[in-house]
């Protein structure tokens, strides 16, 4: 029996066996907040706002210091080790490194606290390809590159809950009219045309010099919202607009009325394009995933640092000062309660731009400009541990990514199943698992304040209410709920952001003179830098994905090794 058929049949059988349990009142909901300690971040903010920092009581030295343990910081550390630099240290605010790629577990079951997949990287991301090869996930077989089949997302990959039943894929197709299908085809043609006319790549480094005439196309798209561009193109079908809005919220944390048209097109043109139903190609790009999502990758990157004693967690960076002979960094150790002062030759500032602008003393103009332009989306990740299979509405079989067309919760993006990658197909419908429900709150009013104010039960109830539409017995199956809050999860690529970042360029200070690097040099150092500081974070791309953060961190690490 094929896996899809087996899942459908087994789910129905399991539901029948467990139906009597649904009549019993559910146990009180157990859970809490997990993953990110918001109090630590607020403590850093309050200390900086106070204007006076405690005197350091501990002195430390290292050749290269990395401030920030997200993917960019971890990539910088890996690049330093590959370049032969072992005298390094990385400071991380939380108890575990990984940034938006952190992971955890609920009742012993691994699950993501953030990003949950990595698209198979194209040739524009050789640094990411090299990482996957190093980890044994990418191998050359009979002259062709192949990815680990256990890590590639198993089928079925996606489904959409729409009109009371599940549909394969995420694009509404069944039952739509001829005009909707025509609009799908029109959008596909526009994406293809723009892909040929301008360079859309991931990572999104652009040579803004004379060698790239299509830059004006990108900047024109960057000047308006995606919604405005769609309206101007006559693309007004509600099903298409819903899907494109979902894609923007999924990748950028805010909807198509907020992000730029460049970002909306880039979502498709930099990856696998967009294909209308029945036209083949596109929308079928492979993705790599794990039960704990990209937390698996973060753990592999952090492991050598932990083993070498180079990873210093629970550290709030208070001040970064560039000196003639090196860099001085003050950090508050939350474990000891002491301020520690680090002296280093160079520093990789792998912090979000708004934090870097606060802690870097006498910040350079390009850092101030970026911090003034960018905005950050709050996110919410709710992990629900369930005891067994759920009652499922008719239609497509249980999938890895399960999206609701009309999600009842603010910014709801559906859920992924942490048990989907199990090798035994029976496990998907007989064993406990964790459902990870995502909410992107970048265009939700007062969202950041709500995250700080509302108790975990508020968010748990909202997630359960939304997912009870396709799974009416969900509340009876929930064993524990853990909620992860991100007040500033990711930069939102709003109109004008690409122009500001391109004007900043890739700058270095050499003998007191700023120099704008050409495209080849950008590839070696895809991040702004001064004489002794290199800034590496996905924020410098204007949006947050693994490929951007890793490549910028890798380049900064190579720079710091010189």
C-alpha 356/C-alpha 552 separation (Å) is 15
Residues 6+ positions from 182 with CB-CB distance below 8 Å? none
Digit-coded pLDDT (tens) for 296-315: 999 999 999 999 999 999 99
Digit-coded pLDDT (tens) for 179-225: 999 999 999 999 999 999 987 888 876 444 434 557 788 889 999 99
User: Percent of the chain scored above 70 by pLDDT?
Assistant: 87
Q: What is the pTM of this model?
A: 0.91
Strands 138-141 and 144-147: antiparallel
pLDDT at 40: 78
pLDDT at 121: 93
Q: In what order do the strands lie in the sheet with 533-535?
A: 311-312, 88-91, 64-67, 346-349, 533-535
pLDDT at 205: 64
Mean pLDDT of 140-165: 94
Burial of 185 (0-12, 13-18, 19+ CB in 10 A): middle
pLDDT at 285: 64
Mean pLDDT of 64-79: 98
pLDDT at 513: 40
Mean pLDDT of 483-500: 92
pLDDT at 47: 72
pLDDT at 5: 46
The one-character DSSP state at 209 is: S
Digit-coded pLDDT (tens) for 382-403: 999 999 889 999 999 999 999 9
pLDDT at 423: 77
Q: In what order do the strands lie in the sheet with 58-61?
A: 58-61, 338-344, 326-333, 315-323
- Do residues 65 and 312 touch, judged by C-beta distance below 8 A? no
Mean pLDDT of 501-510: 58
Q: Distance between terminal CA atoms of the chain?
A: 58
Digit-coded pLDDT (tens) for 234-280: 999 999 999 999 999 999 999 999 999 999 999 999 988 898 888 76
Question: At which residue do the structure tokens 């008719």 appear?
Answer: 394
- Do residues 90 and 461 touch, judged by C-beta distance below 8 A? no
Q: What are phi and psi of 462, to 5 degrees?
A: -65, -40
Q: Which long-range contacts (CB under 8 A, 24 or more apart) does 150-154 make?
A: 150/421, 150/423, 151/288, 151/289, 151/290, 151/421, 152/120, 152/286, 152/287, 152/288, 153/117, 153/286, 153/287, 153/288, 153/289, 153/400, 153/420, 153/421, 154/3, 154/400, 154/420, 154/421
Give the model's confidence band at 514: pLDDT under 50 very low, under 70 low, under 90 confident, else very high.
Answer: very low
- Is the backbone of residue 446 left (phi > 0), alpha (psi -120 to 50) or beta? left
User: What is the crossing angle of helices 546-561 and 126-134, to 10°?
Assistant: 90
Strands 513-516 and 507-510: antiparallel
CB count in 10 Å sphere of residue 238: 11
Digit-coded pLDDT (tens) for 279-297: 765 445 699 999 999 999 9
């Amino acid at each position: 029996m094929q896996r899809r058929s087996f899942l459908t049949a087994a789910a129905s059988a399991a539901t029948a066996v467990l139906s009597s349990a649904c009549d019993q009142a559910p146990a009180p909901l157990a859970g809490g907040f997990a993953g990110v300690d918001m109090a630590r971040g607020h403590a850093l903010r309050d200390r900086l706002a106070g204007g006076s920092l405690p005197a350091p009581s501990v002195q430390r030295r290292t050749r290269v210091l990395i401030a920030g343990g997200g993917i960019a910081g971890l990539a910088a550390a890996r690049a330093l080790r590959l370049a032969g630099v072992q005298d390094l240290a990385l400071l991380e605010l939380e108890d575990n490194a990984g940034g938006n790629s952190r992971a955890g577990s609920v009742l012993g079951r691994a699950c993501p606290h953030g990003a949950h997949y990595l698209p198979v990287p194209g040739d524009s991301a050789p640094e990411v390809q090299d990482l996957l090869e190093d980890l044994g996930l990418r191998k050359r077989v009979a002259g062709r590159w192949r990815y680990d089949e256990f890590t590639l997302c198993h089928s079925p990959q996606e489904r959409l809950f729409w009109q009371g039943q599940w549909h394969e894929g995420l694009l509404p197709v069944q039952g739509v009219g001829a005009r909707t299908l025509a609009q799908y085809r029109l959008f596909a043609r526009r994406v293809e045309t723009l892909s040929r006319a301008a360079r859309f790549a991931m990572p999104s480094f652009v040579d803004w010099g004379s060698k790239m005439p299509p830059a004006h196309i990108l900047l024109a798209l960057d000047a308006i919202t995606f919604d405005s561009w769609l309206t101007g193109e006559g693309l007004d079908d509600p099903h298409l607009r819903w899907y494109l809005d979902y894609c923007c919220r999924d990748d950028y944390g805010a909807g198509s009325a907020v992000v730029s048209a460049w970002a909306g097109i880039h979502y498709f043109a930099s990856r696998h394009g967009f294909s209308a139903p029945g036209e083949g190609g596109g929308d079928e790009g492979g993705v790599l995933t794990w039960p704990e999502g990209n937390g698996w990758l973060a753990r592999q990157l952090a492991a050598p640092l932990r083993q070498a004693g180079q990873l210093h967690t629970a550290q709030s960076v208070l001040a970064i000062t560039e000196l003639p002979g090196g860099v001085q960094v003050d950090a508050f150790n939350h474990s000891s309660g002491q301020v520690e002062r680090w002296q280093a030759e160079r520093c990789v500032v792998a912090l979000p731009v708004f934090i870097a602008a606060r802690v870097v003393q006498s910040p350079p103009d390009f850092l101030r400009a970026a911090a003034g332009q960018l905005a950050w989306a709050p996110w919410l990740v709710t992990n629900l541990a369930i005891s067994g299979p759920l009652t499922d509405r008719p239609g497509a079989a249980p999938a890895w990514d399960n999206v609701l067309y009309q999600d009842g919760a603010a910014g709801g993006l559906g859920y992924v199943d942490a048990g989907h990658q199990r090798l035994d197909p029976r496990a998907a419908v007989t064993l406990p698992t964790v459902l990870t429900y995502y909410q992107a709150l970048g265009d939700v009013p007062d969202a950041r304040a709500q995250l700080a104010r509302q108790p975990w039960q508020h968010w748990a109830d909202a997630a359960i209410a939304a997912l009870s539409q396709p799974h009416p017995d969900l509340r009876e199956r929930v064993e524990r709920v853990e909620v992860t809050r991100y007040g500033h999860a990711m930069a939102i690529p709003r109109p004008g952001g690409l122009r500001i970042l391109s004007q900043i360029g890739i700058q270095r200070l050499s003998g007191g003179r700023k120099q704008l690097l050409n495209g080849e040099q950008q590839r070696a150092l895809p991040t702004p830098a001064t004489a002794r500081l290199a800034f590496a974070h996905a924020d410098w791309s204007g949006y947050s994905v693994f490929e951007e953060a890793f490549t910028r961190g890798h380049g900064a690490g190579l720079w710091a090794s010189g």
